[in-house]
Each structure stands twice: as structure tokens, then as C-alpha cells.
Structure 1
Amino acid sequence: MSASEVVALMLADGRLPTGGHTQSGGLEPAVRAGLKVNQVAEYARDRLYTVTRVEAAVAVVARSNTDQLQAVEQAWAARMSSQVLRGVSRRQGRLLLRLAQRVWPEVGRFLPADGEVPRPIVLGVVAAVNGLSAEQVARVVAYEDVQTVVSASLKLLPVDPADAATWLAGLHDDIERLVKDVAPLTDPDTVPADGAPLIDLFAHQHATERMRLFHA
């Protein structure tokens, strides 16, 4: 196993101390709005083809453009219409950046020490300094998003853990389609602009909830 593969496994590990346990990928507000157990996998798939596809593309493009990260961030912001979700990504990015600068100090050449940088951009820079391929970083983004939703379902709904694992396995082909779609991208202008208005709406509703298990 190469060093880059080990880094990819680390980044996809939900136990990495970057606050992943505080996230449900929007599943909590979706459940509050009426989403059922048998709809969790479809919800995760819908994310893959919309918001996750955008984030994976941003990470891939950031990996190829560490000298143009401002342009990459502008492209990300233009495609992330929800102010709430932009804030969530920046907070997650800050936690990942804090860890990355300890584990992979070279990241500090490209990103500010305590900046609120969108998470996919931080992932792209980590990928660049560790020699991850575009496919590897896209796969990390896609897998981590699906895993976030599936893991959150165990706390929000009456889910058999074996069923949750089955959902995750069943989404492997969708993950690989996403990887194939975004891996060739290198220009910030080519980042897709796929949106999910209902997920945006759920996020805005969730931000004002007084009682919630997950941050987002």
C-alpha cells in the first residue's frame, strides 16, 4: 500500500478528529421533515449527484490549483447558494486545517494557519501535498459524505447496523460514477453547479432549531 493510499484512508476515517461526529449530512432536518428509514439510501444518493458532486469537484480542482486557491474558493462560493451550508463547510474546513497543519506541515505553504477555508479546498491541498490522485480525493469526498449520512441514520432512526452497511455498499457504483465525472476537472470554471434546493431549505430550518442532535 502506498503512502498516498494510507492518507486517503485516514481522510475517509470518521474517527479522524475533525468534528465529523457533529454532522449528519442534512439527514437530521430531513428526518424531522418526514424522511423514513427506507429513504435513507436514496437521500444519500441524491446528495452524491448534487451537493457532494460539487464538493468533490472543488477538492479535485483545488488539488490541481494550489497557486490559485482564491479562484477555486470563488467558484465554490458561487455554486454553494446556501449561506448556512457555506458556514458549515468553513467550520469543518477549519477543523481539518488545524489537524492537517500538525500532521502534514507543508499544507501551511498554501493555507493560512487559522483560516476558515471551505473543507473541500483543504482536502484538495492535503491531497496535493501527499500525492493523492484526483480519483483518490474525489472518492474520499464521496465516501465520507455517504458514510456521514448512513452513520447519522443509526442515531436518528430505528436502523439495523447491518442494513446501514448494506446501504453503504449499495452506493459504491454511484460513488465511482461521481469519481469518474469529476476526476478530469482542472479549471475552476468547470466545477459543476448541481443544486439541491430542498437540502438547502432543510439546512436553514435546522440552523434555527433549539433542540438538535447534530450541528448540520
Structure 2
Amino acid sequence: MASLAALLLGDGRLPVGAYTYSAGLEPAVAAGLTRDDVPALLMARLRTTAVTEAAAAVLALRAAGEDRPDYRPVQRALAARTPVAPQRTASAALGRGVHRLARRLAPAHPAVTALSALDGRPLRPVALGALAAVLPATEEELAHAVVYDELQTIASAALKLLPGDPLDSVAWILAAEPEAARAAGTALAVRSPGLLPARTAPLTEQWALDHARRERRLFLA
């Protein structure tokens, strides 16, 4: 079950999956990004957003293991490092979906009930940390799953937004593996919410703001 739990965290059918979220690819495409640029976008996300979110998820998992789990320090630290409102809104929407799954699996688990202190709006990495405690999954499995989810979300969304050979998306993810491993390792080394990396990408933040104003879009973000 432990191996299945780790696979579930990276499953695109979860409420955080690529059918609802493009990890910034759709606004990037609207700004002119081409299929040839996707590998560069993957690298940029691995060095910024993926590190921050994976570290926050791991911190949330550690908090879940305490006698009285308190996710508020992690939630506040992550919100402060997500300065663009549409990105916070998207993360909270995805977090509600993960929270719903965690409640269905283990409604009375302390790691799940503690999420209610966040007024029903846990950011996605915080909710993933609680879900990992329920499954259960290790810190290493969780960090790698969050990083992999970033890759597979963009690769899957590319099949809709920038149609081409599906094998290309597999090649993109395999080529990104060394950077993905570094991102997961960096995330695992973070020991407290105050040390959560503040790795943002101003250009993708501007794209997110533009995306929020569009009336026609396929993905939440």
C-alpha cells in the first residue's frame, strides 16, 4: 500500500490533476509560448514553484505527525510566498479538492480534522501534506510526488493546448529527471516554515494575472 499511496499522490485523476489545472501553461501559451519552449518552462517551474510547494507539503506532513497538528505556520508562510492573488485562489481551490479526498478516506484522522482550522481553504501543498499522513506516504515520496505532479500537469495540459506527439511529453519528463531530483532534495532539506524558499517567477505571475481576466479559458490556472 505504501507504494500505491505514493503513486496516488501523483495521479492526474486527483482534484489537483491536469484536467483542471495547467500549472501555468495555458497563460504562458496565451502569452506566446510555443511547444518548443515547454522544456524550458518545465525547468523554470522546477527551480521555483515546485521547490516551494514540495517543501511546504513536506512541512505540512511533519506538522501532521505532531500530537496536535497545526498547519497555520506553513499555510501563512506559503501564502506569503505566493504573492499573486489568482495563484493563491487556484491553490485554495485545488486544496479543497484534496481536503475532500482526505475527509473521505479518514474523516476522523487528526491530520484531516486539523485542516478545518484553516477555514476550509487549505492551500494545495498543505492539503497534500495532510493527505500523505493519511495514506500514509513518506516525506521523500511526498516531495517527489509534488515535483512529479508539476511535470505531468504541464505535459498533460500541453496535449490539449499545444497538440503534438504524446511521446514528446514523456521525453520532456524523463529529460527533467535530474532537475526534479534536485528540487525534491532541496524541499526535503527545509526544516521550518520560516525557511521555506521564496522562489517565484515574476513573468509567470504576470501571466497568471492576465489569465484571471480572460473570459475564455480551459484551465483554472
Fold shared, TM-score > 0.5 on shorter chain: yes
1:56 is matched by which residue type in structure 2?
A
Counterpart in the other structure of 1:87: 89
Which amino acid letter does the alignment assign opposite residue 14 of structure 1? G
Amino acid corresponding to residue 46 of structure 1 in structure 2:
A
CA offset digits 1:51-71 (Å, max 9, x no partner) = 111111100111112323111
1:111 aligns with 2:86: no
TM-aligned CA deviation for residue 165 of structure 1: 0.9
TM-score by length of 2: 0.91
Sort the Cα spacing of 1:147 and 1:202 in 2 relative to 1 into closer, same or farther, 3 A.
same
The alignment status of 1:49 with 2:54, answered yes or no, reads no
Q: Deviations over 1:99-119 (max 9, x none)?
A: 111023324332229711101
Pick which of 59-68 and 11-20 moved more: 11-20
The CA deviation at 1:16 is: 2.6
Q: Does structure 1 retain, via aligned residues, the 8 Å contact 2:48–2:200?
A: yes
CA distance in structure 2 between the aligned counterparts of 1:201 and 1:190, rounded to whole angstroms: 25
**Aligned residue in 2 for 1:78:** 80
CA contact (8 A) 1:104 1:126 kept: no
- Given that 2:88 and 2:123 are in contact with CA atoms closer than 8 Å, whether structure 1 keeps it comes out as yes
Structure 2 regions of 5+ residues with no counterpart?
Answer: none
Identify the residue that residue 28 of structure 2 maps to in structure 1. Answer: 30
Deviates further, 193-202 or 129-138: 129-138
Give the alignment of 1:96-107 within 5 angstroms.
96-105=98-107, 106=109, 107=111
Structure 1 vs Structure 2 CA RMSD: 1.6
- After the TM superposition, which of the residue ranges 15-24 and 161-170 deviates more from structure 2? 15-24
Q: How many residues align?
A: 214
Is 1:197 the counterpart of 2:202? The answer is: yes
Shift of 1:44: 1.2
Match runs of 1:53-202 below 5 Å: 53-66=51-64, 67-105=69-107, 106=109, 107-112=111-116, 115-202=120-207
Question: Counterpart of 1:112 in 2: which secondary structure?
Answer: helix
Deviation at 1:168, TM superposition (A): 1.1
Identical columns (%): 40
Helix, strand or coil at the partner of 2:115: coil
CA distance in structure 1 between the partners assigned to 2:163 and 2:133 by the alignment: 40
Report the alpha carbon displacement of residue 128 of structure 1 after superposing the two structures with TM.
Answer: 2.4
